């Protein structure tokens, strides 16, 4: 007679782990092993023994939250921001800058090796700047606290939609950081404070500006308060309720200087947040492309003309292509305001086939592209048909850069130089520049 045994339940795995951290990933997240599985722990450092709470258990890896450092690394730094533990930004303040750079370099190298089958070698340079007071652009979140009947102003809490209210931010340029506390008071003076969306701040060369996104329609009293605030703090104020932002003040339109050029913009336009690093990045693009008087250059994902306009001073002609028509119009205005007659700008969706666009039928000897995080997969087929002699690829996402590198390499281009810009210190973000040249 067969015997039947009631199966015993599997013992529950404890959600608290003791881990030895071996290394960091590209984003500065600690990596350890538990029962043969890779565990990622933000805030942990190599050489540390920690306790962590498992928050997401996948088949081959897991994520855990740091609970206690049992054996700290001698390299661990005290974060300079009092909101470090709660705020979702600047998550690698505990790492020395040299270790942050080392981690970003090794992370980019690993991705290119794994995704593109390409061994990068050491970067030609790692360009750095100030690691505090470097951001000239930011977005402040606003949330209505029903219980307290007030508007909260700050940044998103780590791994949450909740807010961390701050009185200052040490990575913002001083003029913007000083506005946070007064802006909180302003928001709670407005009668329409329940309808506030968020605030965008930017430091232009002719003074700071703010854009208030509003989910309703402020009354005359609120508009008067906004204008008074702008006058008191000597800033340009814009309001956006539906479509385009409308100026509430009569100040000159914002602009920033890039060498001898003056580049105008409006709130909501994309700007590189780190002015010093951007200037050095533009200089490297010009040096690596090395345009001569007879060269015709194509700048894809050109934005306001950040690369296009400086290139115009060295090449025969430059064509900039951008997906957002408003940016194209402002880029054209920027060419005019700087007296550049050898620049043309076009609007095209570069994620879709564009071979029939008039500009796409022209020959180009040099190409620069600076795509957003999704990369330039949609642009690769046409670029390869153009067969430029040199191509400079600026990337904010090494994953998609590695994918696009693989395509270029397969079509006969050599990656001859690469470098790293620390555009975003104390974060896992990295900006790379790559030079591709045709095989001889």
Q: Evaluate whether 419 touches 123 at the Cβ level (below 8 Å).
A: yes
Q: Using one digit for the tens of pLDDT, what is the confidence trace for 21-55?
A: 999 999 999 999 998 899 999 999 999 999 999 99
Residue 381 pLDDT: 87
Please give the backbone phi and psi of residue 67, each rounded to the nearest 5 degrees, phi first. Answer: -105, -45
CATH number at 16-76: 2.40.50.140
Report the candidate in 159, 163, 194, 192 with the shortest Cα–Cα distance to residue 180.
163
Cα(265)–Cα(331) distance, rounded to whole angstroms?
Answer: 9
Active site annotation includes 396: yes
Instruction: List the domain boundaries for the chain.
Output: 16-76, 112-129+274-438, 137-247
> Tell me: domain 137-247, CATH 2.40.50.1070, correct?
yes
Catalytic choice (87, 187, 396, 405): 396
- Name the pairing type of β-strands 431-438 and 390-395: antiparallel
Residue 65 β-bridge partners: 42, 53
Strand-pair partners of 256:
263
pLDDT in tens, 393-410: 999 999 999 999 999 999
| Upper half-sphere CA count for residue 341 (Cβ side, 13 Å) | 0
Determine the pLDDT at residue 12: 44
| pLDDT category of residue 14 using cuts at 50, 70 and 90 | low
Q: Does the pLDDT value for residue 329 go beyond 80?
A: yes
Q: Report the percent of the chain where pLDDT is more than 90.
A: 83
Order across the sheet with 431-438: list the strands. Answer: 126-127, 413-421, 431-438, 390-395, 366-369, 296-300, 317-322, 343-347
pLDDT at 134 over 50: yes
For 112-129+274-438, CATH number? Answer: 3.40.50.150
Run of H or E including 328: helix 325-337
CA distances from 388 to 116, 297, 362, 392 (A): 21, 9, 12, 10
The pLDDT value recorded for residue 268 is 87
Contact between residue 16 and residue 52 where contact means Cβ atoms under 8 Å apart: yes
Query: In whole angstroms, what separates CA 62 from the centre of its chain?
Result: 26
Assign residue 412 a region (left: φ > 0; alpha: ψ between -120 and 50; beta: otherwise). Answer: left
Mean pLDDT of the chain: 92
CA gap 6, 4 in Å, rounded: 7
Q: What is the pLDDT of residue 440?
A: 62
CA distance 300 to 404: 14
Domain 112-129+274-438 identical in fold to domain 137-247: no
Order of strands, sheet of 236-240, starting from the edge strand that comes earlier in the sequence: 163-165, 150-156, 137-145, 196-204, 207-214, 236-240, 246-247
pLDDT digit string, tens, across residues 201-236: 999 999 999 999 999 999 999 999 999 999 999 999
CB atoms within 10 A of CB 269: 17
Q: What's the rounded Cα separation, in Å, for the pair 366 and 387? A: 9
Q: Residue 9: its pLDDT value, please?
A: 45
At 218 the pLDDT is 93
């Amino acid at each position: 007679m067969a015997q039947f045994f009631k199966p015993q339940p599997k013992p529950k795995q404890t959600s608290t782990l003791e881990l030895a951290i071996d290394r960091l990933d590209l984003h500065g997240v600690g990596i350890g092993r538990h029962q043969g599985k890779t565990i990622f722990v933000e805030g942990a450092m190599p050489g540390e023994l920690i306790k962590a709470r498992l928050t997401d258990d996948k088949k081959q890896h897991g994520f855990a939250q740091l609970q206690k450092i049992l054996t700290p690394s001698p390299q661990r730094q005290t974060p300079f921001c009092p909101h470090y533990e709660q705020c979702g930004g600047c998550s690698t303040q505990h790492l020395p800058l040299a270790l942050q750079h080392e981690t970003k370099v090794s992370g980019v190298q690993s991705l290119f090796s794994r995704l593109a089958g390409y061994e990068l070698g050491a970067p030609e340079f790692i360009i750095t700047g100030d690691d505090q007071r470097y951001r000239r652009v930011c977005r402040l979140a606003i949330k209505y606290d029903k219980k307290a009947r007030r508007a909260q102003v700050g940044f998103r809490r780590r791994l949450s939609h909740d807010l961390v209210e701050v009185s200052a931010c040490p990575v913002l340029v001083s003029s913007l950081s000083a506005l946070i506390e007064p802006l909180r008071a302003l928001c709670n003076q407005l009668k329409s404070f329940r309808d506030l969306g968020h605030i965008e701040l930017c430091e232009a060369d002719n003074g700071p500006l703010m854009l208030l996104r509003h989910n309703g329609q402020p009354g005359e009293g609120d508009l008067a308060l906004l204008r008074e605030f702008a006058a008191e703090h000597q800033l340009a104020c814009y309001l956006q309720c539906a479509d385009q932002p409308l100026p509430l003040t009569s100040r000159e339109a914002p602009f920033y200087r890039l060498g001898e050029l003056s580049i105008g913009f409006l709130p909501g336009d994309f700007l590189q947040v780190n002015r010093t690093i951007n200037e050095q990045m533009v200089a490297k693009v010009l040096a690596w492309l090395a345009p001569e008087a007879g060269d015709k250059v194509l700048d894809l994902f050109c934005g306001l003309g950040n690369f296009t306009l400086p290139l115009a001073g060295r090449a025969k002609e430059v064509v900039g292509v951008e997906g957002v028509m408003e940016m194209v119009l402002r880029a054209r205005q920027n060419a005019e305001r700087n007296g550049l007659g050898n620049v043309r700008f076009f609007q095209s969706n570069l994620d879709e086939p564009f071979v029939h666009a008039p500009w796409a039928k022209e020959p180009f000897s040099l190409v620069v592209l600076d795509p957003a995080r999704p990369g330039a997969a949609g642009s690769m087929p046409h670029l390869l048909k153009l067969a430029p002699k040199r191509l400079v690829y600026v990337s904010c996402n090494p994953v998609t850069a590695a994918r696009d590198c693989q395509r270029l390499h397969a079509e006969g281009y050599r990656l001859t130089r690469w470098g790293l810009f620390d555009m975003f210190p104390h974060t896992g973000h990295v900006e790379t520049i790559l030079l591709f040249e045709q095989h001889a």
